[in-house]
Structure 1
Amino acid sequence: MAPYTVRWGIIATGGISKQFAKDLLVDPSSRDVSDVKHEIVAVGSRSVESAQSFIDHLKSAKPEDSWSWGVQNGLLDGVKAYGDYHGVYNDPSVDAVYIGTPHNLHHRNAKDALLAGKPVLCEKPFTMDVEELDELISIAKEKNLFLMEAVWTRFHPIAYAVQKVLDSGRLGRPKRFAADFSGDAKLDATGDRMIDPELAGGALLDMGPYPSVWAMLTLHHDKHNKDKDPKVITSHQTIYKRTGVDANSRWVVQWDGLCQAALLTDLENSGLKEATAVVQCEEGDLCIEYPPWRPETFHLVPRPTHHVGSIKEKETHQVPCHPGNNGMSYEADEVARCLRDGKIQSDRMPWDESRIVQGWFDVVRKNGDSVLKDYKGQAGQ
């Protein structure tokens, strides 16, 4: 049987869209996939020239570039450049739309795509608040259209490997969790989107999805967890005074009957190399190495000697993405399979879990003092 093919339209031409496009063009067999494949048929930007430049960059792949396979095998043949986004939404050859615009535009762009009848894969954070997300979900249900937040880390091989260890029972019940996405961005020397309030900058929304995804994968999915609506019980933000966005945000989430998770994002300090996320369990600790968005290594670590468990020696597990795949190919494959099977949401990245994390961000933002504290979303507009 021929593989199921998704013809993608890509919205915005920044770095994240460029990487997604390149991953679409990688040979699926390089990641042991034969049931689905991808083509790019439309690119939308603020000008035709910008969209065409994006396309030209993809077509200029050198033989050693992993995405050159797609160029050589016609996966860009006939791709159209649009000087706006609606051209992509209304293009009958587009099967699904990928949205890689700034955070504060996600709701508008996803809503427009859904209203035009297109399935949507939208970059994280999904929206600016839960109300915006609920409106998108309502439209997707009404129109029977697929919608998913692009939390690529959920689909990486290491995510499944970590969950397999936890599900095996070797480590026992989780007792405590901490995850951290930090990086010294040299804020005083930069003027980029990370600190621009007009683009919803700051540590929380840009970096928050990564400690959150590991909390969700390890605690929320844990077989002992019965709490389907974990809440933020305390939070704090430090404000970067030059622009008023949050320089760091930290919050604690409670899963009743299981444990708590301490989550941290920080633009002014480096993160921990060997412990970007740590699940401390009854029999030992599971430590995931930096970077949280695309780790390749995790360790099983014995507990301290006076609380020793069944893990007696440190174990190191290497689980990289497949060669040539940056990591976005896996979420694209998930979209293709869901479309093939007639699903409107992913079992691996369901709407209710996006709502949980979006709800945490709402609480932290509203309890802080950044310029986004009182931001009102565009639901209903």
Structure 2
Amino acid sequence: MAPFTIRWGIISTGGISTKFVHDLLVDPSSREVSDVAHKISAVGSRSVESAQKFVDKFKATPENESAAWGVKNGVLEGVKAVGTYQEVYNDPDVDVIYVGTPHTLHHRNTKDALLAGKHVLCEKPFTLESAELEELIAIAKDKNLFLMEAVWTRYHPLAYAVEEVLKSGKLGKPKRFSADFSMDFPLDDKPTSHRMLDPALGGGSLLDMGPYPSVWAMLLVHRNPHNKDTDPKVLTSHQTVYEKTDVDINSRWLVEWKGTCQGQLMTDLGSAGFQEATAVLQCEEGDLVIEYPPYRSEAYQIHPRPERDIGAIKEKSRHHHPIAEGNNGMSYEADEVARCIRDKKTQSDRMPWEESKITQGWLDVVRTAGPTATAHLKGTAGQ
């Protein structure tokens, strides 16, 4: 049987869209996929010239690179380069829109795509605030369209492997959790217009990096078989201001799953992350450790508890589950989108709207309670 082919429209031509399109061009068999395939029908940018430059760069992919497979096999055949996003939304040859614009534009872009009758995969964070997300979900429901936050980490081989460890029960009940996405980012070397520094673009560590400690909180605690709390709340939060532009250089927040455990989440632009432990779930019988980086980890470790608190786990072990060669790691979420649309689903069972709403709510609490300029940003819900 021929694979189900989904036709993509790409919104924005920045770095994240470049990685996503690259993965659409990689041979699906490289990740052992044969039931779905991808085609790129249109690319929208702020000008026809920039969209065409984006397309031409991929068409010129050297033959020894993994994306060359897609160029040779028609993934870009007939692709249109256009100077407005609306032209992509209105294109009858496009089934689904990938939104790779800055955070503060996610709601507007996704809403326009949904109103044009297109399915949407939107980069994280889904929206600036919860009211925007609620509106998008309502439109998707009304129009029976697929909508998903692009939390690619959920679809990586490691995420599935860790899920099986938790289901096995060998670690026992969670006791506490921590997750961290930190990097030594050269803030002082960047112009104030840079997206990581500009408050109007949702700059700072929280919105850009916050989805990653959040995804491990959701995968390791929220989806843990022992957890019964479906509405975990932020107990406390703190942000440190980068005085040059008044965005957060770091953010910390404590979340509680009643009856299960608490979790400390952190983002930081001023210090590098710890290589061997980007997320840690400490349990009754042993500890589960996710290695850095949180967005694309390829290994986890299981550790015994300290001698005075000994549990059933007696030896340390390390388990490697790499991303398929030649893939950035975004190919897996693209495959999920194709399967969901093929199966006429409006949301992914592995990335449901309710879980996006939970993490969006955490970001809302931390951002609006903080001292930064982004605390006062207002979304475009209802506009």
Deviates more, 1:185-194 or 1:360-369: 185-194
1:310, distance to aligned residue in structure 2 (A): 1.4
Residue identity in the other structure for 1:208: G
CA distance in 2, matches of 1:104, 1:323: 33
Contact 2:200–2:374 at 8 Å: present in 1 too? no
- TM-score, scaled to structure 2: 0.99
CA distance in 2, matches of 1:223, 1:162: 12
Report SS of the residue matched to 2:375.
Answer: coil
| Equivalent residue number for residue 211 of structure 1 | 213
Alignment of structure 1 residues 180-199 onto 2, 5 Å:
180-191=180-191, 192-199=194-201
CA distance in 1, matches of 2:210, 2:357: 14
CA distance in 1, matches of 2:244, 2:93: 46
Alignment of structure 1 residues 84-99 onto 2, 5 Å:
84-99=84-99
| Equivalent residue number for residue 333 of structure 1 | 335
CA distance in 2, matches of 1:58, 1:363: 40
Q: After TM superposition, which residue ranges in structure 1, 4 or more long, deviate above 2 angstroms? A: none
| Equivalent residue number for residue 366 of structure 1 | 368
**Residues 324-354 of structure 1, C-alpha deviation per residue, up to 9 Å, x if partnerless?**
1110000000000000000011101000000
Identity of aligned residues (%): 67
CA distance in 2, matches of 1:37, 1:156: 18
The runs of 5 or more residues in structure 1 that have no matched partner are none
Matched, 1:128 2:128: yes
Residue identity in the other structure for 1:5: T
| Equivalent residue number for residue 170 of structure 2 | 170
1:313, distance to aligned residue in structure 2 (A): 1.2
Residue identity in the other structure for 2:146: F
1:186, distance to aligned residue in structure 2 (A): 2.0
| Equivalent residue number for residue 357 of structure 2 | 355
Residue identity in the other structure for 1:206: D
CA distance in 1, matches of 2:99, 2:64: 28
| Equivalent residue number for residue 147 of structure 2 | 147
Residue identity in the other structure for 1:45: S
Residue identity in the other structure for 1:121: L
CA distance in 1, matches of 2:369, 2:201: 20
Report SS of the residue matched to 2:263.
Answer: strand
The runs of 5 or more residues in structure 2 that have no matched partner are none
| Equivalent residue number for residue 318 of structure 2 | 316
Report SS of the residue matched to 2:109.
Answer: helix
CA distance in 2, matches of 1:161, 1:50: 40
**Residues 43-101 of structure 1, C-alpha deviation per residue, up to 9 Å, x if partnerless?**
00000000000001111111111111010001101000000100100000001000000
CA distance in 2, matches of 1:185, 1:342: 42
Report SS of the residue matched to 1:193.
Answer: coil
Matched, 1:258 2:255: no
| Equivalent residue number for residue 161 of structure 2 | 161
CA distance in 1, matches of 2:58, 2:96: 19
CA distance in 1, matches of 2:323, 2:257: 30
| Equivalent residue number for residue 55 of structure 1 | 55
Contact 2:11–2:44 at 8 Å: present in 1 too? yes
Residue identity in the other structure for 1:60: A
CA distance in 2, matches of 1:324, 1:355: 33
1:297, distance to aligned residue in structure 2 (A): 1.0
Report SS of the residue matched to 2:131.
Answer: helix
CA distance in 1, matches of 2:307, 2:59: 57
Report SS of the residue matched to 1:373.
Answer: helix
**Residues 121-144 of structure 1, C-alpha deviation per residue, up to 9 Å, x if partnerless?**
000000000000000000001111
Q: CA RMSD in A?
A: 0.6
CA distance in 2, matches of 1:241, 1:52: 39
Report SS of the residue matched to 1:194.
Answer: coil
| Equivalent residue number for residue 228 of structure 1 | 230
